[in-house]
Amino acid sequence: MSVHHVLDHVDDYLKLGREYDCSDLHLATAYPPAWRRYGQLSPIWPEHPPLKPEETECLVKSFLGEKELKRLEDRGDIDFAYIGSDGRYRASVVKQRLGYDMAFRVINSKMRTMEEIGLPIEHIVPLTRYQNGLVLITGSVGSGKSTTLASIVDFINHDRDDHILTLEDPIEYIFESKNCHVNQREVHKHTDSFARALRGALREDPDVIIVGEMRDLETIQLALTAAETGHLVLGTLHTGNAPRTLDRVLDVFPTDQRDQIRIMVSESLRGILSQQLVPHISGNGRVLATELLVNTPAVANCIREGKTYMLPGIMQTGKHVGMVTMDESLRQIYVKGLVSAEELLFRCDDKAQMRAFLKS
């Protein structure tokens, strides 16, 4: 397939992207139309010329409404859920020196179950049945956090008879109320910020609160308070593994509050699931590697004393409750022949140990 002219509407590119199983699409000034497939970013058509400023401007106007255009002019960037002719997308439009840049994340409307994703179900299900506490899902951008979170919410929706409230930016998956009553609120559209939405949420008597992203002090503080006061809170963070996640949560607070926060986290944390999507050795598709930390008395003790560096050791002895480190998970998919040694070394935490493992 080869195209040299610019397509009329953003939807034409998005349709193509879905057809060829890509996760993201980029339409940027001074760059040819590009897509991300199986983690790799490349031009859709090798010989397509770079997009001109007037071409990206036409594309921007092809899919933005009055309100969004005005916000883009005022703020210089917008981020929202876009409903195209063939599905939903997380859209981001940015005004930069050369012109407009658009990026789209493809949202699969079909909810995937925990089985389909390959999550360690027998150890995650117990975490979803608590009446209160905090469960964190972490990983870098594009590591599948939203998909994992949606599959867990979908499970809770069928498994419990409760009120679930989600706070998202933007709303990605649409949940129909099953055995639970589900409310979804979009930050910026229905409320100003995660913190404000979370404060409002506590008045709406939810049992389970989903916080799309815990990015600042206020949101993290409110999430912890909610977890302590009888709500099960599920949140996501852009961190690579459990020790780094705990450091990130604690580092947000002023030093004089750290001790108190450590005690709070040690009591309310239920578990941390960290994940990475590793390119499959065949070049097609990606493989999920997951780290799981479950809060046991030994883990709580480490958190209280601020010794997060000791967690990997504790996790190695906690296999019976499902604990597994990221490196162990990576070794497992390597032994199954699913990923290359280069990827293994590139993604692991302890390089020296991994080199010794590969030599043996």
10-residue mean pLDDT profile of the chain (360 residues): values are 78 94 95 92 93 95 91 91 89 94 89 94 96 96 91 97 92 91 88 86 92 90 94 95 94 94 97 96 92 97 95 93 95 96 94 94
Which residues have CB under 8 Å from 344's CB, separation 6+? 330, 331, 334, 354, 358
Confidence at residue 198, expressed as pLDDT on a 0 to 100 scale? 87
Confidence at residue 360, expressed as pLDDT on a 0 to 100 scale? 86
Please state, for a pLDDT cut of 70, what percent of the chain lies above it: 99
CA dihedral 16, 17, 21, 22 (to 10 degrees): 160
Which residues have CB under 8 Å from 117's CB, separation 6+? 144, 147, 148, 151, 288
Confidence at residue 262, expressed as pLDDT on a 0 to 100 scale? 96
Strand positions, DSSP E, the chain: 24-28, 34-37, 40-43, 77-84, 87-96, 99-107, 133-138, 163-168, 181-186, 208-211, 232-237, 269-279, 286-294
Which residues have CB under 8 Å from 291's CB, separation 6+? 241, 242, 272, 273, 274, 275, 315, 324, 325, 326, 329
Identify the three-state secondary structure at position 164.
Answer: strand
Confidence at residue 170, expressed as pLDDT on a 0 to 100 scale? 81
- List pLDDT tens digits, range 53-101: 999 999 999 999 888 899 999 999 998 889 988 888 999 999 999 999 9
- pTM listed for this prediction: 0.86
Confidence at residue 8, expressed as pLDDT on a 0 to 100 scale? 87
Domain ranges for the chain: 10-107, 114-359
Confidence at residue 4, expressed as pLDDT on a 0 to 100 scale? 67
Pick the CATH number of 10-107 from 3.40.190.10, 3.30.450.90, 3.60.21.10, 3.30.70.1060: 3.30.450.90
Identify the three-state secondary structure at position 72.
Answer: helix
Q: How far apart are CA 310 and CA 253, in angstroms?
A: 21
- List pLDDT tens digits, range 209-244: 999 889 889 999 999 999 999 999 999 999 989 999
Q: What is the third-level CATH fold of 114-359?
A: Rossmann fold (3.40.50)
- The strand pairing partners of 88, in sequence order, are 83, 107
